[in-house]
Amino acid sequence: MRSGFTLVEVLVVVGVIAALAAILFPVFSSARESARKAQCLSHLRQVSQAFLLYAQDADESFPYRITDYHHWGGAGIGESWPPQIIPPWTAQVEPYFVNRSLLACPSTRRDWSWPLWAGRWGALNPGGPWLAYCGYRGYGSAIGFPHWDCFTSFGYNEAISNGLDETHLLARFKAPSQFVLLGDSEVAWFTPWGRGEIWGLTPSGVVQRLAFSEKFPPPMETDPEASKETRHGGGSQIAFCDGHVRWEIWFRIRRWSYGGPWRFHPEDDAF
Ligand SMILES: [Zn+2]
């Protein structure tokens, strides 16, 4: 009787284990990602409900704030000087949800360097927090309101926050269930204009900050690897003005005016 295993037997066993691991690890990691995706949907739903509750208490208006998108950064200070100090949207809707952990998507891999950078920028410019709107982590402390400092991985539609054509008013929406309010986003707001610009739309009208929320500058939409720069397996969670949330694949996060299924801008909502 021999004892122990031959080298061939050991190699076969090791090979089988390696093959099983190779098959199962992607299954485990995709199961973990689907759990995070579901958790993100739940967070986003609660945050969008907070927007609707806010609107009920504010004469049917979503949080409003002119950001003067002509300024570099899309986050200036409106028409007044000295600038108006308006709380960021996170602070405006905060009374309507349980806690700030809801403002984070569990899947993001991004380090939120924009807000830190913007906060520094604001601090360096005593004349006014030019980039106030994106300074969600550092903005508050830069201007003496540290309780406004806040991390979020969701973005608010800049067309609504700017009240373009009074779109911040609930009564102005023709199709609130098709108009995108919030979503997984690269920064704390997303900009549904600027075709061909890295901060705006792709040439075909995809809203890049929502679609490619894990990368700035975003990939070319013709890049076969583009879907790797998305947050949830090729797409993002998006919330609509009636409070419902859905996952959408990146190339369908496209403006109605450019042949897409969803509305992002008053021009999309004219039909
Ligand atoms: Zn998410």
What pLDDT was estimated at residue 66? 57
Query: Within a domain: residue 122?
Result: no
Q: What is the mean pLDDT of residues 11-37?
A: 89
Q: Report the separation in Å between the CA atom of 194 and the middle of ligand 1, taken as the mean of its atom positions.
A: 24
What pLDDT was estimated at residue 211? 97
- Higher-confidence residue of 19 and 113: namely 19
Q: Report the separation in Å between the CA atom of 193 and the middle of ligand 1, taken as the mean of its atom positions.
A: 22
Nearest alpha-carbon partner for 210 in 167, 265, 162: 265
The position carrying tokens 């991390």 is 151
Q: Report the separation in Å between the CA atom of 62 and the middle of ligand 1, taken as the mean of its atom positions.
A: 22
Band of pLDDT at residue 114, cut at 50, 70 and 90 = very low
Q: Report the separation in Å between the CA atom of 155 and the middle of ligand 1, taken as the mean of its atom positions.
A: 11
Q: Which of 113-127, 162-176, 191-205 has the lowest mean pLDDT?
A: 113-127
Other residues' Cβ atoms within 10 Å of the Cβ of residue 140: 23
Q: Six-digit token pair at 69?
A: 């998108």
DSSP 152-196: -SEEEEHHHHTTGGGTTBGGG-S-GGGBEEEEE-SSSEE----BT
pLDDT tens by residue, 137-194? 556 665 667 777 777 889 999 899 888 878 888 988 999 999 999 999 988 889 999 9
Q: Is the pLDDT of residue 83 over 70?
A: no
Query: Within a domain: residue 14?
Result: no
Nearest alpha-carbon partner for 206 in 5, 196, 240, 230: 196
Classify residue 254 by its DSSP letter: B
Query: Within a domain: residue 56?
Result: yes
> What is the average pLDDT score of the chain?
81
Query: Within a domain: residue 149?
Result: no
Compute the C-alpha angle 168/198/47, nearest 5°: 35
What pLDDT was estimated at residue 181? 97
Q: What is the mean pLDDT of residues 81-108?
A: 79
Is the pTM higher than 0.95? The answer reads no
List the domain range (segments joined by +) for residue 190. 34-87+95-106+154-270
Q: What is the mean pLDDT of residues 28-52?
A: 93
Q: Report the separation in Å between the CA atom of 237 and the middle of ligand 1, taken as the mean of its atom positions.
A: 6
Residues forming beta bridges with residue 247, ordered by sequence position: 237
Q: Report the separation in Å between the CA atom of 262 and the middle of ligand 1, taken as the mean of its atom positions.
A: 18
Q: Report the separation in Å between the CA atom of 197 and the middle of ligand 1, taken as the mean of its atom positions.
A: 24
Q: Is the pLDDT of residue 75 over 60?
A: no
Q: Is the pLDDT of residue 127 over 50?
A: no
Nearest alpha-carbon partner for 133 in 98, 167, 84, 180: 84
pLDDT tens by residue, 225-243? 999 999 999 999 999 999 9
Q: Report the separation in Å between the CA atom of 195 and the middle of ligand 1, taken as the mean of its atom positions.
A: 24
For the chain, the farthest-separated pair of C-alpha atoms sits apart, in whole angstroms, at 93
Query: Within a domain: residue 136?
Result: no
Burial (CB < 10 A; 0-12, 13-18, 19+), residue 6, is exposed
Q: Report the separation in Å between the CA atom of 23 and the middle of ligand 1, taken as the mean of its atom positions.
A: 26
- How far is Cα 257 from Cα 130, in angstroms, rounded to an integer? 31
How many folded domains does the chain comprise?
A: 1
Q: Is the pLDDT of residue 2 over 90?
A: no
Q: Report the separation in Å between the CA atom of 164 and the middle of ligand 1, taken as the mean of its atom positions.
A: 26
What pLDDT was estimated at residue 255? 97
- How far is Cα 258 from Cα 97, in angstroms, rounded to an integer? 35
- How far is Cα 125 from Cα 249, in angstroms, rounded to an integer? 40
Q: Is the pLDDT of residue 5 over 80?
A: yes
Query: Within a domain: residue 261?
Result: yes
Q: What is the CA radius of gyration of the chain?
A: 22
Query: Within a domain: residue 123?
Result: no
Q: Is the pLDDT of residue 119 over 60?
A: no
What pLDDT was estimated at residue 27? 81
What pLDDT was estimated at residue 68? 43
Q: Report the separation in Å between the CA atom of 55 and the middle of ligand 1, taken as the mean of its atom positions.
A: 24
Q: Report the separation in Å between the CA atom of 235 and the middle of ligand 1, taken as the mean of its atom positions.
A: 9
Q: Report the separation in Å between the CA atom of 107 and the middle of ligand 1, taken as the mean of its atom positions.
A: 6
Q: Report the separation in Å between the CA atom of 184 and the middle of ligand 1, taken as the mean of its atom positions.
A: 5
Distances (CA, A) of 262 to 15, 156, 244, 246: 49, 15, 13, 12
Q: What is the mean pLDDT of residues 59-88?
A: 56
Q: Report the separation in Å between the CA atom of 98 and the middle of ligand 1, taken as the mean of its atom positions.
A: 18
- Higher-confidence residue of 83 and 226: namely 226
Decide if 110 contacts 153 (C-beta within 8 A): yes
Q: Report the separation in Å between the CA atom of 240 and the middle of ligand 1, taken as the mean of its atom positions.
A: 15
- How far is Cα 236 from Cα 110, in angstroms, rounded to an integer? 14
Query: Within a domain: residue 146?
Result: no
Q: Report the separation in Å between the CA atom of 187 and the middle of ligand 1, taken as the mean of its atom positions.
A: 13
Q: Report the separation in Å between the CA atom of 144 and the middle of ligand 1, taken as the mean of its atom positions.
A: 30
